[in-house]
């Protein structure tokens, strides 16, 4: 049980997918201007990432490994993830227009999110089993949402601050992201009793 | 080799079939984005963006056919809001930004041709054939569409004067430095 | 017995400086050489001018009629001659002009006929109307039309009527002296409001730094045998805010989304009550008010001033000291700097303060916000001014609304305590008026969109109707042609049989009509063989018919919105009529002659270009 807890805590805080592994930076910078949209993006990513880790585990173990096709991993994962994202979007649009409005334009963006591809690949590199894969996927996604929301909150405030002209916009956001990354380095060692 | 190809082909076919089925099964009509974009546009219906009205422009933006910086009446503020909504870059406005204006008919010169009435997209001009026309000022959006059709050039655009009704408190201006 | 008092959160205790202006009783300000009475002196619609240049008016005569329910009338402050109805500088921070009646007093100060009424004998609606037409508005400074506050909520009975004599602004003492000198009339006036609202209890709240006023009011209440409670409330700014006083006296907290009547409380200023009494019991409308003239003066005092008196003349009464450099209207906390002394005294002018650099040193430069939270501690509405400031400064108005900027009463406590000297209230005023202006723009855009869509729908409908009409005409023509062909065949047959005359008469009817305007094609009559000329004729006939109908409509419709026109407007209309009368006489003659032929035409669209 503690083993699973360590996987989750490690994924959320210690090895945060954005600030420590530096994956999924495009949505981190792009969709963090407003708190509401950051929440939407976080929710959408959490859903897709969890499903994607499960699906890629199944494909890897029951389709690629038996035939010795490990070299096709990246390709088949990308295709699967893209298809899942598309499918999810269409289903949500039809069944729950409200949720679709909330997630709206962020869903297709996830297709190109490198965190979503990176986490399944890390799963395989770490030799996680199915449950561990799912937990690691969900944990990473929660970590992603957490920093995204934190970052959006900070950016909303920075918007009103007296930032020197040449630092406005992306530049000050980069500086902020760097400081946040430094802060998350402080979690290193939290899981060393693993 | 053949197995590899077969597996990839199988994957492609399965995923393609699923997506194709879903796109038919879960088809949604209409685009909620258009309404959101239209809510930001100033509804002058002036056509300065190159589209015949605000809704067609909104549709074009939503479809990705038009830039977001084509609406002069909306100003930079409007561009910023659109950029916010659509996640696009803020671009400088194509035309120069003008203060809000209203059209004024010089009633002495007006010959009552009704051409401006036909041109007005928002029914802000009253008058009848061979009768003097006038503009209902609060309804005028300042689109300038009535200026050109007038055969006697009796319509002019005038900036809206500041009155007690539309006066605004100014942004506090503070002296940064005072000799102590 | 003292009732239990409650407390509101926050507030400050600035130095009051009230003593200097209460040394002398209320003085009657002399009649100025000119009076500038602005028409728009209250919240709500701008009253319509009822006089024009050259008119003689009596004291108390109606010169501006209330525009709808949410508005209050304006009256002549003295008898004299109207010199002009024109734009004149308003007593407003903007320094912009507003429509003003300029009056030259004749010095006789003759009242028009006054009709005192007993409010108990009149229907409540009638009393409210009378108050509106007497121009009774909230004289505490908000100038909200009082009659609009005098309707109790349908479901909640009014438990408490709060009479506001707190007067918490420093320097101000006009309500204090009014209560000392005219407590009798105030107490009598309260009965009007109590009866209209059917209030169970009446609480008169007076800050405890005005013991003379408390005493005077208590004596008046006792003398008149009323059961009102006169309550001395602790002196703390802004105890005189309506919501704050209600909180202190009743313990009820009015939520942002509700009005106080929804909780069964209503609040009026003592000066408002006084004017309401004068209006009903003496028939005297609101033509003057008591103004505290204080600050850097030789002789600070309260004056009863006619509305419309130029502030320059009022200020001269107090003999300003040499180093006076600017004047404030309202108190030092909520007031504003007057753009010029040319502005007149209006119903909102409760206090004029002469300021000198030593008395009101210029604001030290603004320093960055250090988020100390002092502003949040003193905010009587429990807002977070530092957050509001942050977002207002960044023009992030959506966020300011999330932080409830519209609950801010602009009392100025936050600016008062700010250690960084940030003019917080100015930021909030800026944000509020910016939000209002955006709201206006948005509403205008929505209305424009609705009109645009209606217009498009109308155009489509008209096009469809036109197409249908043309199709019908074409069908009729085709039928006629067919009939003509049959007739021709028959004629040929008849010619063969030796009877040609009758058939020829049947195929050529239009020549017999004797008019250049042809008969309509869709009328079931045989048409001429020349179809091109026929279409043109139809068009002509349609135009003629439409013109004829428009003329008839013009004659039938009486102009309806012309009862309350200014003399200027009437003159313009007369000029337009004269211009219009000359040339169209000819056109009219043409139209009538042509219409004779076209009057029997079928229905055509009745829009000629409206």
How many Å is the maximal CA-CA distance in chain C?
125
pLDDT at C297 over 80: yes
pLDDT at C530 over 90: no
Give the Cα separation of B176 and C418 in Å (integer): 17
Q: What residue of A is the nearest CA neighbor of B16? A: A83
Sign of CA dihedral C237, C240, C244, C247: positive
- Are C271 and C108 spatial neighbours (Cβ–Cβ below 8 Å)? no
Which H or E run contains C546? helix C531-556
pLDDT > 70 fraction of chain A, expressed in percent and rounded: 94
Q: What is the pLDDT of residue C594?
A: 42
- Residue-wise pLDDT for B143-179, tens only, equals 888 898 999 989 999 888 888 888 888 888 765 555 5
- Are C238 and C413 spatial neighbours (Cβ–Cβ below 8 Å)? yes
pLDDT at C609 over 50: no
A79 contact residues in B (CB cutoff 8 A): 11-12, 15
- CA–CA distance from C149 to each of C152, C207, C286, C454, C517 (Å)? 8, 24, 17, 38, 66
Q: What residue of C is the nearest CA neighbor of A163? A: C394
Q: What is the pLDDT of residue B6?
A: 87
pLDDT at C161 over 80: yes
How close A107 gets to chain C, by Cα (Å)? 26
Instruction: Compute the mean pLDDT over every residue in chain B, rounded to the nearest whole number.
Output: 84
Residue C452 has its nearest CB partner, among B107, B118, B121, at B121
**Partner A, chain B 16-35, Cβ-Cβ below 8 Å:** 18-19, 22-23, 25-28, 32
Contact (CB<8Å) B84/A34: yes
CATH architecture of the domain formed by C19-355: 3-Layer(aba) Sandwich (3.40)
Domain residue limits, chain C? 19-355, 365-507, 529-554+587-610
Lowest mean per-residue pLDDT among A52-56, B101-105, C526-530: C526-530
CB atoms within 10 A of CB C105: 20
- Are C32 and C344 spatial neighbours (Cβ–Cβ below 8 Å)? no
Sign of CA dihedral C52, C53, C54, C60: positive
By CB atoms closer than 10 A (0-12, 13-18, 19+), residue C184 is middle
Which H or E run contains A171? helix A170-185
C399 contact residues in A (CB cutoff 8 A): 156
Q: What is the mean pLDDT of residues C232-245?
A: 92
A69 contact residues in B (CB cutoff 8 A): 4, 7
Q: What is the mean pLDDT of residues B17-21?
A: 88
Q: Which residue in C442, C443, C438 sits closest to C398, CA to CA?
A: C438
Lowest mean per-residue pLDDT among B83-97, C285-299, C421-435: B83-97
Residue B130 has its nearest CB partner, among C90, C92, C584, at C584
Backbone angles phi, psi at B158, to 5 degrees: -130, 140
- DSSP string of C132-192, one letter each residue: HHTT-B-TTTT--BGGGG----SSS---EEEEE----STT--HHHHHHHHSHHHHHHHHHH
By CB atoms closer than 10 A (0-12, 13-18, 19+), residue C64 is buried
- Are B27 and A91 spatial neighbours (Cβ–Cβ below 8 Å)? no
B11/A contact by beta carbon, under 8 A: yes
- Are C174 and C261 spatial neighbours (Cβ–Cβ below 8 Å)? no
Contact (CB<8Å) B15/A83: yes
pLDDT at B21 over 50: yes
By CB atoms closer than 10 A (0-12, 13-18, 19+), residue C225 is exposed
By CB atoms closer than 10 A (0-12, 13-18, 19+), residue C256 is exposed
Lowest mean per-residue pLDDT among B139-153, C101-115, C483-497, C556-570: C556-570
Residue C209 binned pLDDT confidence (cut-offs 50, 70, 90): very high
Residue A94 has its nearest CB partner, among B7, B18, B28, at B28
pLDDT at B14 over 60: yes
Q: What is the pLDDT of residue A34?
A: 81
How close A182 gets to chain C, by Cα (Å)? 25
How close B26 gets to chain A, by Cα (Å)? 5
Q: What is the pLDDT of residue C497?
A: 62
Which H or E run contains C489? helix C424-497
Place of tokens 């994924």: A11
State whether residue A22 is helix, strand or coil: coil
Give the Cα separation of B146 and C533 in Å (integer): 34
Contacts of C60 (CB under 8 A, 6+ apart): C75, C76, C111, C112, C114, C283, C284, C285, C287
pLDDT > 70 fraction of chain C, expressed in percent and rounded: 86
Give the Cα separation of C178 and C302 in Å (integer): 9
Q: What is the pLDDT of residue C78?
A: 94
CB hemisphere CA count around A23 (13 angstroms): 24
Contact (CB<8Å) C396/A157: no
Dihedral class, residue C323 (left if φ above 0, else alpha if ψ from -120 to 50, else beta): alpha
Q: What is the pLDDT of residue B70?
A: 87
Q: Was domain B101-159 assigned CATH 3.40.50.970?
A: no
Domain residue limits, chain B? 32-86, 101-159
Q: What is the mean pLDDT of residues B79-94?
A: 81
Q: What is the mean pLDDT of residues C171-192?
A: 93
List alpha helices for C319-423, DSSP H: 374-378, 385-393, 397-402, 413-417
Contact (CB<8Å) A157/C390: yes
A90/B contact by beta carbon, under 8 A: yes
Give the Cα separation of C318 and C340 in Å (integer): 17
**Domain B32-86 CATH class label:** mainly alpha
Q: What is the pLDDT of residue C366?
A: 86
pLDDT > 70 fraction of chain B, expressed in percent and rounded: 93
Structure tokens at B70: 């084509």
pLDDT at C608 over 50: no
Place of tokens 């005098």: C150
Question: Does the N-terminal peptide bond of residue C238 adopt cis geometry, omega within 30 degrees of 0?
Answer: yes
Q: What is the mean pLDDT of residues C9-23?
A: 90
Q: What is the pLDDT of residue C511?
A: 42
Residue C552 binned pLDDT confidence (cut-offs 50, 70, 90): confident
Which H or E run contains A36? helix A35-59
Give the Cα separation of C419 and C582 in Å (integer): 73
Residue C512 binned pLDDT confidence (cut-offs 50, 70, 90): very low
- Residue-wise pLDDT for C317-336, tens only, equals 999 999 998 999 998 999 99
Q: What residue of B is the nearest CA neighbor of C583? A: B130
Place of tokens 């700097």: C337
- Residue-wise pLDDT for A107-147, tens only, equals 777 877 888 899 999 999 988 999 999 999 999 999 999 99
- CA–CA distance from B56 to each of A184, B68, B80, B117 (Å)? 48, 13, 20, 22
Residue C524 binned pLDDT confidence (cut-offs 50, 70, 90): very low
Return the DSSP state at C527: P
- DSSP string of chain B, one letter each residue: -HHHHHHHHHHHHHHHHHHHHHHHHT---S-HHHHHHHHHS------TTSSSSHHHHHHHHHTT-S-S---TTTHHHHHHHHHHHHTPPP---SSPP---EEEEE-TTT-----HHHHH-TT--EE--TTS--EE-GGG-----TTTTT-TT--EEEEEPPP-TTT--PPPPP--S----
pLDDT at A105 over 50: yes
Q: In sequence order, what are the beta bridge partners of C98? A: C88
Give the Cα separation of C429 and C414 in Å (integer): 13
Give the Cα separation of C609 and C369 in Å (integer): 60
Give the Cα separation of C602 and C465 in Å (integer): 13
Alpha-carbon Rg for chain A in angstroms:
17
Lowest mean per-residue pLDDT among A100-104, C191-195, C468-472, C555-559: C555-559
Q: What is the pLDDT of residue C587?
A: 43
- Are C72 and C136 spatial neighbours (Cβ–Cβ below 8 Å)? yes
Q: What is the pLDDT of residue B174?
A: 62
Q: In sequence order, what are the beta bridge partners of C297? A: C320
Lowest mean per-residue pLDDT among C128-132, C296-300, C565-569: C565-569
Which H or E run contains A148? helix A130-159
Q: What is the mean pLDDT of residues C582-608?
A: 43
Q: What is the pLDDT of residue B64?
A: 81
Instruction: Compute the mean pLDDT over every residue in chain C, rounded to the nearest whole number.
Output: 84
- DSSP string of A52-72, one letter each residue: HHHHHHHHIIIIITTTT-GGG
Strands B134-135 and B125-126, bridge-based pairing: antiparallel
State whether residue C344 is helix, strand or coil: strand
- CA–CA distance from C356 to each of A62, A159, C143, C225, C459 (Å)? 88, 39, 28, 47, 66
- Are C271 and C290 spatial neighbours (Cβ–Cβ below 8 Å)? yes
Q: What is the pLDDT of residue C589?
A: 44
Q: What residue of A is the nearest CA neighbor of B23? A: A90
- Residue-wise pLDDT for C341-388, tens only, equals 999 999 999 999 999 998 888 888 888 899 999 999 999 999 999 999
Q: Which residue in C430, C356, C128 sits closest to B172, CA to CA?
A: C430
pLDDT > 90 fraction of chain B, expressed in percent and rounded: 7
pLDDT at B119 over 70: yes
- Residue-wise pLDDT for A136-177, tens only, equals 999 999 999 999 999 999 998 888 888 898 998 889 999 999
Q: What residue of B is the nearest CA neighbor of C366? A: B174
pLDDT at A8 over 60: yes
pLDDT at C605 over 50: no
Backbone angles phi, psi at B3, to 5 degrees: -65, -45
Q: Which residue in C59, C61, C244 sits closest to C167, CA to CA?
A: C244
Contact (CB<8Å) B169/C547: no
Question: Per this entry, what is the length of chain B?
Answer: 180
Q: Which residue in A108, A94, A88 sits closest to B27, CA to CA?
A: A94
């Amino acid at each position: 049980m503690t083993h699973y807890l360590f996987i989750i805590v490690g994924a959320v805080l210690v090895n945060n997918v954005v600030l420590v592994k530096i994956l999924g930076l495009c949505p981190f910078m792009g969709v963090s201007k407003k708190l509401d949209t950051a929440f939407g993006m976080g929710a959408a990513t959490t859903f897709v990432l969890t499903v994607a880790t499960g699906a890629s585990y199944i494909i890897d173990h029951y389709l690629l490994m038996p035939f010795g096709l490990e070299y096709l991993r990246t390709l088949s994962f990308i295709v699967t993830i893209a298809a899942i994202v598309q499918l999810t979007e269409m289903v949500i649009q039809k069944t729950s227009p409200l949720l679709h409005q909330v997630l709206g334009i962020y869903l297709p963006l996830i297709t190109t999110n490198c965190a979503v591809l990176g986490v399944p690949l890390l799963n395989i590199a770490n030799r996680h089993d199915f449950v561990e894969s799912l937990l690691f996927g969900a944990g990473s996604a929660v970590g992603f949402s957490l920093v995204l929301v934190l970052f959006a909150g900070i950016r909303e405030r920075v918007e009103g601050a007296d930032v020197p002209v040449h630092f406005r916009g992306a530049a000050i956001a980069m500086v902020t992201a760097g400081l946040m990354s430094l802060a998350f380095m402080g979690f290193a060692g939290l899981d060393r009793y693993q | 080799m053949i197995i590899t190809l077969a597996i990839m082909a199988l994957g492609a076919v399965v995923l393609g079939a699923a997506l194709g089925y879903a796109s038919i099964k879960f088809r949604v009509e209409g685009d909620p984005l258009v309404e959101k974009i239209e809510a930001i546009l100033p509804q002058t219906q002036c056509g300065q963006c190159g589209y015949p009205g605000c809704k067609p422009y909104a549709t074009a933006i939503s479809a990705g056919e038009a830039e977001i910086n084509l609406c002069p009446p909306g100003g930079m503020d409007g561009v910023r809001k659109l950029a916010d909504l659509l996640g696009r870059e803020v671009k400088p406005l194509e035309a120069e930004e003008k203060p809000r204006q209203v059209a004024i008919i010089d009633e002495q010169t007006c010959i009552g041709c009704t051409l401006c009435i036909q041109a007005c997209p928002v029914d802000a001009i009253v008058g009848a054939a061979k009768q003097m026309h006038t503009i209902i000022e609060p309804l005028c959006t300042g689109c300038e569409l009535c200026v050109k059709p007038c055969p006697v050039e009796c319509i002019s655009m005038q900036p809206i004067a500041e009155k007690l009704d539309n006066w605004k408190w100014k942004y506090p201006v503070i002296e940064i430095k005072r000799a102590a | 017995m003292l009732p239990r008092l409650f407390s509101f959160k926050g507030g400050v205790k600035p130095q009051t400086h009230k003593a200097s202006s209460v040394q002398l009783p209320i003085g009657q300000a002399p009649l100025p050489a000119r009076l500038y009475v602005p028409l728009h002196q209250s919240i709500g619609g701008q009253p319509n001018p009822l006089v024009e240049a050259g008119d003689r008016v009596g004291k108390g005569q109606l010169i501006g009629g209330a525009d709808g329910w949410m508005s209050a009338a304006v009256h002549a402050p003295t008898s004299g001659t109207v010199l002009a109805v024109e734009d004149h500088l308003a007593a407003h921070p903007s320094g912009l002009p507003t429509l003003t009646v300029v009056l030259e007093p004749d010095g006789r100060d003759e009242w028009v006929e006054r009709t005192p009424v007993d409010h108990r004998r009149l229907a409540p609606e009638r009393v409210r109307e009378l108050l509106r037409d007497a121009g009774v508005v909230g004289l505490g400074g908000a100038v909200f039309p009082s009659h609009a506050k005098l309707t109790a909520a349908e479901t909640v009975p009014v438990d408490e009527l709060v009479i506001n004599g707190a007067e918490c602004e420093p320097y101000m003492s006009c309500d204090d002296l009014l209560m000392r000198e005219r407590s009798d009339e105030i107490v009598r006036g309260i009965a009007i409001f109590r009866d209209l609202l059917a209030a169970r209890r009446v609480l008169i709240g007076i800050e405890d730094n005005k013991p003379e006023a408390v005493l005077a009011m208590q004596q008046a209440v006792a003398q008149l045998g009323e059961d009102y409670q006169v309550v001395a409330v602790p002196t703390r700014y802004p105890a005189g805010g309506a919501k704050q006083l209600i909180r202190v006296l009743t313990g009820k907290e009015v939520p942002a989304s509700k009005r106080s009547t929804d909780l069964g409380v209503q609040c009026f200023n003592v000066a408002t009550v006084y004017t309401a009494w004068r209006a009903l019991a003496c028939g005297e409308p609101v033509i003057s008010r008591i103004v505290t003239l204080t600050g850097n003066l030789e002789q600070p005092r309260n004056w009863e001033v006619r509305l419309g008196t130029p502030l320059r003349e009022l200020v001269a009464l107090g003999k300003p000291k040499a180093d006076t450099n600017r004047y404030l209207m309202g108190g030092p906390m909520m007031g504003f700097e007057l753009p010029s002394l040319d502005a007149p005294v209006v119903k909102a002018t409760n206090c004029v303060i002469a300021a000198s650099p030593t008395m009101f040193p210029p604001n030290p430069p603004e320093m960055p916000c250090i988020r100390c939270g002092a502003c949040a501690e003193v905010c009587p509405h429990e807002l977070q001014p530092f957050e509001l400031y942050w977002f207002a400064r960044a023009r992030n108005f959506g966020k300011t609304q999330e932080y409830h900027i519209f609950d801010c009463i602009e009392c100025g406590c936050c600016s008062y305590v700010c250690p960084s000297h940030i003019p917080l209230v100015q930021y909030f005023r800026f944000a509020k008026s910016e939000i209002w202006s955006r709201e206006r723009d948005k509403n205008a855009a929505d209305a424009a969109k609705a009109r645009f869509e209606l217009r498009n729908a109308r155009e489509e409908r008209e096009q469809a109707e036109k197409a249908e009409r043309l199709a019908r005409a074409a069908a009729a023509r085709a039928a006629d042609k067919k009939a003509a062909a049959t007739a021709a065949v028959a004629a040929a047959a008849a010619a063969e049989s030796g009877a040609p005359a009758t058939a020829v008469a049947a195929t050529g009817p239009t020549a017999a009509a004797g008019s250049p305007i042809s008969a309509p094609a869709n009328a079931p009559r045989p048409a001429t063989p020349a179809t091109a000329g026929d279409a043109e004729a139809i068009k002509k006939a349609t135009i003629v018919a439409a013109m004829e109908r428009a003329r008839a409509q013009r004659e039938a419709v009486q102009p309806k919105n012309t009862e309350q026109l200014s003399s200027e407007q009437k003159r313009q209309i007369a000029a337009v009529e004269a211009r219009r009368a000359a040339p169209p006489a000819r056109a009219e003659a043409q139209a009538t002659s042509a219409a004779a032929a076209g009057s029997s035409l079928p229905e055509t669209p009745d829009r000629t270009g409206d």
